[in-house]
Every structure is written in C-alpha cells, then in structure tokens.
Structure 1
Amino acid sequence: MKHYPFLEPLTLNNGITLKNKIVMSPMTTMSSFYNGMISDDELDYYSIRSSGPGMVITAVANVTDDGKGFEGELSVSNDDMIPGLKQLADVIKKDDTKAILQIFHAGRKSNSKILRGNKPVAPSSIAAVYPVDSETPKELTDEEIHDIIKAFGQATKRAILAGFDGVELHGANTYLLQQFYSENSNQRTDKWGGSREKRLTFAMEVLKEVHEIVEEFSNPSFIIGYRMSPEEIEKPGITLEDSLYFADKIKNKVSYLHLSIGSYKRTSLNNPNDKTPIITQFAKTLDNQIPLIGVGSVESPEDAEHVLSYGGNLIAIGRELIREPKWVQKVQSGDLASLRTSISPFDLDELKIPRVMQTYLKESFYDVMNFTTDKKNGSNYQSKLAPMEGFEKKL
C-alpha cells in the first residue's frame, strides 16, 4: 500500500499536532436556524465527515447581527449561541480532529432583506461590483469600526468557551476584512484607509484583539488562522503582490494561512504571463515559518500530493468531502477503488447533506459537483473565480 506524506502528522508553531495534513474546508451549509443557532441537520452533516481530517474548519459564523451575509448562516454574535456551538465542537473533535470556528463580518456583501431592513455596512459607501444589483452600504464610523473589532474578540471568547481548538478569521471572498484591504471598497482618508499600509490597519487591529482575548481566556495552544483571497479582478482591487505583502505582514501573528481559490493549479488571473502557481508564490513568502493551507478542486490522493509539491503544508478538501465523507479513512486503508468522486442527486440525503445545502449545491455549484446527472461533464476553476470567491448566488 502506498505511503502518502499528507497522512503524516504536522505540528503547528504553538505545539498543537494535527494527526494528518488534511483539512476539511469551510463550506456554506445555509442550514442554521433563522437566528444563527446550529441545527441538528448541520450536526449530522459534520458528524459523518469529522473523524478523518486532522482539522475541520466550520462554515462561517457572523460576529455581529449586521455582519450576517446570507440566510441560514451560523452565528457567534451572542452568548445564546454557545450551547449549540459546544455541540458542534464536540461533534468535530471526535477521534482527535481539531475543531476550528471560522468567523467573519460580511460587510457590503449583504443586503437589507437579509439584515431585516437595515443597510449593510462597509469601509466606504460604495456598492460591490458583483452582483450587479448590490446595495450601496453605509460607511462605518470610527466608533462602529472599533465595535466590530471588539465583536471579533468576543466571538473568539465564545469559541473558546464552546471548546473549539481555534478560530479562523475569514479575510477572503470579498467580506469585510478583505473590504478594508481593498482599494476598490476602501476609499477612506482616515487611519483606516488610503495607503496599502493603512488599509491593513483593520485586519491588524482584529488580530491584536483576538490575541488579547486568547491570552486572557485560553492558552498559546489556541489556533488563530487567517483566510485570504489572493486577487480581486475589480479595478482597482487587490493584486497578487498586495496579498503576498499582506501574508508577509501577518505571518508572525497567525498559526496558519489559508488561501481561498477554486483550483490548487490556479495562476494569476490578472497577469496571464505569470505562470507560477499561486500556492508556490505564497509558500515562498511564508518560507515555512507557518503552515500554508493549499486548496481547490482536490479530489484524489494525487491532487493532494500535488498541493504539497507546489509548496502547501496542509491540504484543504471541500467538495470531495461532501461526496465522500470517509475520504481520509479510505485512503489510509488503501481502499481507493471505492472513493466516490461523483455524486448522485438521489444520494444527498444518505450523505447527510442538509436540504437547503442540497439546493445551494445544485444551483450554485452544479457544474463542479460532478453530479452523475451532469451531461456536460462538469467544469473547473483553474482560470476563473469560484462562486464562493465573490460571485455566489443567494437563495
């Protein structure tokens, strides 16, 4: 039976050892209750997928009510959420899998319908380019910015109390953390905007707040991850050079860096002459000082090996774990012939995929889910943005 290096343990700088290098990607379920509490459907969904990977990152949870980005979204905005989040952490942590709660604020990537009549907020009062009917958000005041920073800290405290092993700051997919760094969405002239260094201020302050909370309520073994999107296609927008600069600035403040790209083979979307894989470029910047999570259309053990060869230290698997919840266990046992790389719409209930998530997969991800009913033989994200990178459809 072949030996796969990605099945070997990896120890983070804080001393925590992951039992293997496979990470379950954070994937939207759209299945929490109206107020953001975890549902039994979600617990069942995580339960059958959690024991194999070394680490599971949850679907995103909003840190404030006005940070909600879509219906059915998980929340960590108040203490009432802690009992349900504890159930979620317990479900994930069986068999020594580490549980990470991804936290965020949607910023302008929301609307007044989702926010029950309230306008979305953002660094500047500028509507998003995509979707074309995006609402013009309210520009955040200095006081409101500080309140959101505090909310990230309180969300981290709740994750600690619920028993999670760490949090991941969702600074990708055009949400608020990314909005502050982007020249497209942040055109402020105060300390929160202007130069690239000033546009980095919000993320740095959030990281500072999270570290202070961890120091007070947990210990150095608590994991603090960060997820980022390497590029924006809007002009002006975040360039690959900007993101590599960002990664260099935060690498001594996080436990790992997690990219958000639809294909691990992705090269620059904005510079077709740059043929070096994005993962490789980030690996060079990080220089093995912290682990890099490579991600994007990883289906087979060979794909996982390629991520490592490109410079990734950990491999995030998303859609394949939806199709094949026991992917890690089957690879470990050499049972590769039984790996499910396609999925029948008739098997979704059996695979404990919540009903609303089923609809979401069929509507927004149909051509990349490898549905057996897809006569077009699917598509890929090697040279284009995936829906979750800023083009997702809203149910």
Structure 2
Amino acid sequence: MAHGDLSLANRVAMAPMTRSRTDQPGDRPNALMAEYYGQRATAGLIITEGAPISAVGRGYSMTPGIYTQAQIVGWRQVTDAVHAKGGKIFVQLWHVGRRSHVSISGEQPVSASAIKVFDQVYGPLPEGGFGMIETSAPRALSSDEIQYTIADFVQAAKNAMEAGFDGVELHGAHGYLIDQFMRESSNQRTDEYGGSRDNRMRFMLDVTRSVAAAIGGDKVAIRISPFVIEGDNQVDPEIIELTLEAAAELQKLNLAYLHLSENISNCQEVPEQFRQQLRAVYRNPIMVAGKYTQESGEAILAKGYADLVAYGQPFITNPDLVSRFKYGIELTPVGYDAHAAFYGGGAEGYTDYPAAELPK
C-alpha cells in the first residue's frame, strides 16, 4: 500500500498499546522497548504506545514522553531498531486532558471544561507500587493555554521527526483531550472552542492543521472513536454528525490515514451506513482497529471501508503476527499471564514471546 511518501509492505498495522516500561527518572524510551518494537517490525506500520507531548499531558505512569531531549534520544533507539528490519513506525502523540492525577502529571489536570467524571488511570498507589487510581478534578484551559497546547503538539511532532519516526498519529480518541473538546458532556465552553459542532471540532482541526503544516500532511494521522465512550458516562447526540463534518475538513489535509478505534470499553457497533457516509467524505486511507480477526479484517478491506487493519493484543503475544496470518499458523492466545504483564515490569510478558516456526 502506498499513499504520499508512505509505502507499506502490507495492510496489517500494530495498534498503539500502553505498556509502561520506560527508564526512570524522565520516562525515557530504552533498549528493551527498542527490542519489543523491532520484534514486531514485519507489521506494515507500527503505531507506538501513546507518547505524552508535555508533563501536564501525561496520564499514566512510566509512559514514554516526547518532550525532552533524553526522550528523543531514547526513541531513536526504537526507530533505528524498526528501520533496521525494514519496518515503518509512527509515534502516537498523546495529551490525556482530564484523564490524569496530580501525582502523575505534577499539576492539576486540564480539559476543555472543569468537569470531573468517575475515571481511573494507572499511577502510584499510596501504599507503594503502581495500580489504578481515581483521577483528579480538572481545570479548564484558558484561551492562551489552548494555543500553547497546540504548540506543544507541533513541537512534539518536530521531536518525532528528529527521533527518526516516519510520521505521527494524533490521539483524538478514547476520551482524551482532543476528544474532550469534541463532546458536549465534557465541553461546556462559551468561547470559539465550545458550543456548536464547528466550535467543538475546532481544537482537533487546529491541532491537525498545525502539525500538518509543520511536518507535512502525509506524515500525520489522527485516531478518533465516535462510537466509543471512555473516560465519560454519556452518549453524545451529535458526535457522529461532528465526526463526518470534521472528516470532510481532514480530507483537505491529505493525511497519511484516519484511524477509527472501535469495539472497546462502552461502545456501539459501527453501522454500515456510517462507513458509507465516511467514505463519501473521506477518500484518503482509513485504518480500523478493535478486536478484528484476520477474517473480519480481510472482509472490511474487501468492502472498501478500510485500507489498513490494526491489531493490538494479538501483537503482544504474537510478534510475528503477519507471518502467522500469511501461513495460517495458530495464534498464541492473550491469556491471564499476558494481561498481568500489560503495564509495567520488564522483559517477561513483553519481549519473551517467540516467533512461530515457518513451514518449509
């Protein structure tokens, strides 16, 4: 598959997954992470775990940032490892907004509006160690702070280019900051970034346009999740219309792809009508992710509703997922042990899954 300057060996992508294995202090990517991503370089495209664009953008402990020079150097190990094996890799740029805690970000979390909902994130426990903790109440970003945040996204994208990435994916899904601006329940602003659908999509479009202007639209993607409710408790009555209207604007930027996250958390099934409506307004590559199998992935590609299918957990236990698909080799299941090693730890449950022996 080819689009712009991005040429991929296949249509199987590795979805972004938080694994929390950075070096401390400083949340620096390391050699273990380079090995992990390098093992999975046969994916047509790897999207890294979310990389916070700033300290206040951080919402999970031990996640790899992309806002210090030490982090850039650490990420270079990762991109070198993937490129050495012929792979392509985008970094996911992440600002969690209100989905954080003061003990993680070092300050009060920020959002479109000062609205707290019940939510938990991975952070330091009072008794020591790490686990799921309740988020802190957020404060609303000022108009000036919104512009500073857009600048943080742009700088993070430039840092990604310095670190050797092939591109960046903006995390606009799962109830994080960009998503918080898009939904009525989390955005009660009365300025140009709140109220109407045009205003609620403005932050997402301003970020995407600014990043595309800085590094080139063909090196930029964005992930959205209009049919998923996460970090919130309300269905937005306008999110589908807003998404389609925003997609028409994104089409003008000639992005690398638009990434739809589906079938996780509190979700609705994506209706075929939406896929048809999206294709009508967005003709550049579309990626889908969310509990796809090889068969269902091939089916949505065949219908023309997607150009790439991203797999998450299957890539944890099957670093050679592409080969297993190609040769019909049984997948190593994601069992209890794999779940226990999702966040934190070392090589166990991370880089110790073997590749299958290929047929001769």
So what's the TM-score if we normalise by structure 2?
0.83
Q: Give the superposition deviation at 1:232.
A: 5.1
- 1:355-381, CA deviations, whole angstroms, 9 ceiling, x for partnerless residues? 379799xxxxxxxxxxxxxxxxxxxxx
Q: Select the residue among 224, 228, 231 that pairs with 2:224.
A: 228
Q: Give the superposition deviation at 1:313.
A: 0.8
Structure 1 pair 47–16 and aligned structure 2 pair: CA distance change class (3 A): closer
Aligned length: 331
Distance in 2 (CA, whole Å) between partners of 1:320 and 1:343 is: 7
In the alignment, structure 2 segments of 5+ residues that lack a partner are 121-132, 351-360
245-254 vs 228-237, greater mean Cα deviation: 228-237
Q: Give the superposition deviation at 1:15.
A: 3.5
Would you say 1:45 and 2:36 are equivalent positions?
yes
Structure 1 pair 193–97 and aligned structure 2 pair: CA distance change class (3 A): same
In the alignment, what sits opposite 2:208?
A: 207
In the alignment, what sits opposite 1:309?
A: 302
Distance in 1 (CA, whole Å) between partners of 2:299 and 2:35 is: 31
Distance in 2 (CA, whole Å) between partners of 1:353 and 1:56 is: 19
Q: Give the superposition deviation at 1:309.
A: 3.2
Q: Which has the higher strand share?
A: 2
Contact 1:53 1:328 in 2 (8 A): yes
Contact 2:251 2:281 in 1 (8 A): no
- Structure-to-structure mapping, 1:20-59, within 5 angstroms: 20-34=10-24, 35-50=26-41, 52-59=42-49
In the alignment, what sits opposite 1:242?
A: 242
Contact 2:14 2:46 in 1 (8 A): yes
Q: Select the residue among 48, 55, 71 that pairs with 2:61.
A: 71
The one-letter amino acid of 1:37's match is: R
Distance in 1 (CA, whole Å) between partners of 2:243 and 2:81 is: 34
- Structure-to-structure mapping, 1:239-318, within 5 angstroms: 239-253=239-253, 254-262=255-263, 269=268, 275-276=271-272, 279=275, 281-286=277-282, 289-300=283-294, 302-310=295-303, 311-318=305-312
Q: Give the superposition deviation at 1:81.
A: 1.5
- Structure-to-structure mapping, 1:1-395, within 5 angstroms: 10-12=1-3, 14-34=4-24, 35-50=26-41, 52-116=42-106, 118-131=107-120, 133-214=134-215, 222-231=218-227, 233=229, 234-235=233-234, 237=236, 239-253=239-253, 254-262=255-263, 269=268, 275-276=271-272, 279=275, 281-286=277-282, 289-300=283-294, 302-310=295-303, 311-332=305-326, 334=327, 336=328, 338-343=329-334, 355=345
SS of residue in 1 equivalent to 2:298: helix
SS of residue in 1 equivalent to 2:153: helix
In the alignment, structure 1 segments of 5+ residues that lack a partner are 1-9, 361-395
So what's the TM-score if we normalise by structure 1?
0.76
Q: Give the superposition deviation at 1:342.
A: 1.4
Structure 1 pair 96–353 and aligned structure 2 pair: CA distance change class (3 A): farther
Structure 1 pair 47–139 and aligned structure 2 pair: CA distance change class (3 A): same
Contact 1:268 1:277 in 2 (8 A): no
Contact 1:62 1:73 in 2 (8 A): yes
Contact 2:173 2:224 in 1 (8 A): yes
Q: Give the superposition deviation at 1:182.
A: 1.2
Distance in 2 (CA, whole Å) between partners of 1:328 and 1:39 is: 25
104-113 vs 205-214, greater mean Cα deviation: 205-214
Q: Give the superposition deviation at 1:167.
A: 0.3
- 1:155-185, CA deviations, whole angstroms, 9 ceiling, x for partnerless residues? 0111111111100000001111111111111
Q: Give the superposition deviation at 1:130.
A: 3.6
Q: Give the superposition deviation at 1:251.
A: 2.1
Distance in 1 (CA, whole Å) between partners of 2:308 and 2:199 is: 31
Contact 1:45 1:352 in 2 (8 A): no
The one-letter amino acid of 1:342's match is: P
- 1:73-111, CA deviations, whole angstroms, 9 ceiling, x for partnerless residues? 110112222111111111222333211011011100111
